[in-house]
Amino acid sequence: MTTLPDARGHFGRFGGRFVPETLMAPLLELEKAYAAARRDRGFQQRLASLLADYAGRPTPLYFAARLTEHCGGARIWLKREDLCHTGAHKVNNVLGQALLAARMKKTRIIAETGAGQHGVATATAAALLGVPCEVYMGAEDIARQALNVFRMRLLGAKVIPVESGSKTLKDAVNEALRDWVTNVHTTYYLLGSALGPHPYPMMVRDFHTVIGKEARTQSRRAIGRVPDVVVACVGGGSNAIGLFHPFIEERRTRIVGVEPGGGGLASGKHGASMAAGAVGVLHGSMSYLLQNDDGQVAVAHSISAGLDYPGVGPEHAYYKDTGRFEFVSITDEEALEGFQALTRLEGIMPALESAHAVAHAMRLAKTLPRSKVMVVGLSGRGDKDVYVVAKALGMEIG
């Protein structure tokens, strides 16, 4: 399992490096630099101390007693990535890659962002390291995640609106890649999910496996064994692979990824690339992809900007095919219910992305006995989403 991906970045038939020739040498350079950093104790120590003292790790594994009682089934534990500095798991990967960028002596950092969480995390790390930062963000996402846009600006980053295509995450990735191909000598592309060309899916996964490693140790301590089920939402797949990866060889642990069902799979307006996609190539790797018969990439739909992506990381695609990971979907409406339930019952306001995982966990918990234990990846906090939630619930702010 730890042998994946292979030397060319393939997870079985998925992954790889489908990029313009101009980016091949930089990707090979990045792969080399990452391999060297991985072996470098100084690098690892710097990252570990930042994760502890700056990002606030380890994050708690919290038993959601009232939510459990409400569902009346399996016990639900939350892996509290929402308590990370900047409010989401994204910071784990960002700190790792930002240190790598510094090690590679890159003088400029660019990133794409959907919900703005990755953009905020990147702007934060750039401020910390004193490096100029530019973040590509779809115009539609800028409108629905205004709070995060302002946070990025306060942090000194430049937010560049992307007006092409669907004006969401997919187009922000395109634009970031166009920037990188142009400024390849000076610029580090800090990709925010477990997707893109090799080595990104592997590297982003590695930086996030701290989530699953902690959760494994914490659940051993709290319940004396590994959980029966782990659940996480899947946009590109970074928080999910971070939580899942350390459990892949734990055969008794069910692994469940939750995709955005939008208006329902039948509506055609969703982001469920596992449920409704076909194998294809987008943004440098082969994976499942929402597309039409002509190979044109479809526009995803989700109430949550961070899940609004027509593809999925290649490692998830691989484990879907082997059957090791299960994938389900949760609609916008169900996610809103999950959001409200967790807020009212536990006093924890989840990001709308994470609310998808919560909603599915609630559904699943009801079908399982109390002897079963579930760990849910609570990937981020919901402050950024209050406007969207207010609008969806027909409420007014203030």
Q: Is 31 a catalytic residue?
A: no
CB of 169 to ligand PLP, least distance (A): 8
Q: Does 19 bind other proteins (CB under 8 A)?
A: yes
- Residue window 173-212: x/- pattern of binding to other proteins, with contact defined by CB under 8 A: -xx-xxx-xxxxx---------------------------
Which entry of ligand PLP, other proteins, none binds 233, CB below 5 to 8 A by partner kind? Answer: ligand PLP
278 or 390: CB nearest other proteins:
278
34 or 309: CB nearest ligand PLP:
309
CA 150 vs. chain centroid, Å, equals 21
Among 183, 131, 180, which Cα is nearest to 155's? 131
Q: Does 390 bind other proteins (CB under 8 A)?
A: no
Answer for the pair 202, 12: CB distance below 8 angstroms, yes or no: no
CA–CA distance, 315 with 286 (Å, rounded to integer): 10
Q: Does 2 bind other proteins (CB under 8 A)?
A: no
Q: How far is CA 355 from CA 113, 323, 338, in A?
A: 19, 25, 5
Q: Does 306 bind ligand PLP (CB under 6 A)?
A: yes
- Residue window 287-326: x/- pattern of binding to other proteins, with contact defined by CB under 8 A: --x-x-xxxxx-----------------------------
Answer for the pair 234, 240: CB distance below 8 angstroms, yes or no: yes
Residue 31 token pair: 């792969």
Instruction: Say if residue 199 is preceded by a cis peptide, omega within 30 of 0.
Output: yes
Q: Does 307 bind ligand PLP (CB under 6 A)?
A: yes
Neighbour count for residue 368 (Cβ, 10 Å): 17
11 or 43: CB nearest ligand PLP:
11
Residue 190 token pair: 């800090």
Among 112, 134, 353, 385, binds ligand PLP (CB under 6 A): 353
Q: Is 315 a catalytic residue?
A: no
Q: Is 90 a catalytic residue?
A: yes
CB of 90 to other proteins, least distance (A): 23
Q: Does 343 bind other proteins (CB under 8 A)?
A: no
Q: How far is CA 109 from CA 26, 168, 206, in A?
A: 14, 20, 20
Answer for the pair 387, 147: CB distance below 8 angstroms, yes or no: yes
Among 249, 242, 211, which Cα is nearest to 315's? 242
CA–CA distance, 258 with 358 (Å, rounded to integer): 9
Q: Does 149 bind ligand PLP (CB under 6 A)?
A: no
236 or 338: CB nearest other proteins:
236
CA–CA distance, 36 with 226 (Å, rounded to integer): 32
Q: Does 215 bind ligand PLP (CB under 6 A)?
A: no
Q: Does 379 bind ligand PLP (CB under 6 A)?
A: yes
| Kind and range of the H or E run holding 108 | strand 108-113
Residues labelled as active-site residues: 90, 112, 379
Contact positions vs ligand PLP (CB under 6 A): 88, 114-115, 117-118, 193, 233-240, 306-307, 351, 353-354, 379-380
